[in-house]
Amino acid sequence: METTSTDRSVGLGIFFVLIAMAGAGAMLGAEASTNLAAAGFAGAVAAGCLAVVAIHAYAE
């Protein structure tokens, strides 16, 4: 029996959302350094974009 569909889009979407949440947490936790907060924000935005792309790229 062969598999005709996968859940890769959901898995990658969740993975990138978790990375985005980690970036947002780094942004909130970086009270003393604006550079670290900016890097956390940039990481969160990039991972959020990749989550949307992954869901659309692998959806059937």
* Cα–Cα distance, 24 to 10 (Å, whole number): 21
Cα end-to-end distance, the chain, whole Å: 20
Tell me, what's the pLDDT at 41?
Answer: 93
- Contact partners, residue 8, CB within 8 Å, separation at least 6: 58
Percentage of the chain modeled with pLDDT above 70: 93
pLDDT range class, residue 13, cuts 50, 70, 90: very high
Please state which of the ranges 2-6, 23-27, 30-34 shows the lowest mean pLDDT. Answer: 2-6
Stretch 12-41: mean pLDDT, rounded? 91
Tell me, what's the pLDDT at 1?
Answer: 61
pTM (two decimals): 0.81
In the chain, where are the structural domains located?
A: 8-58
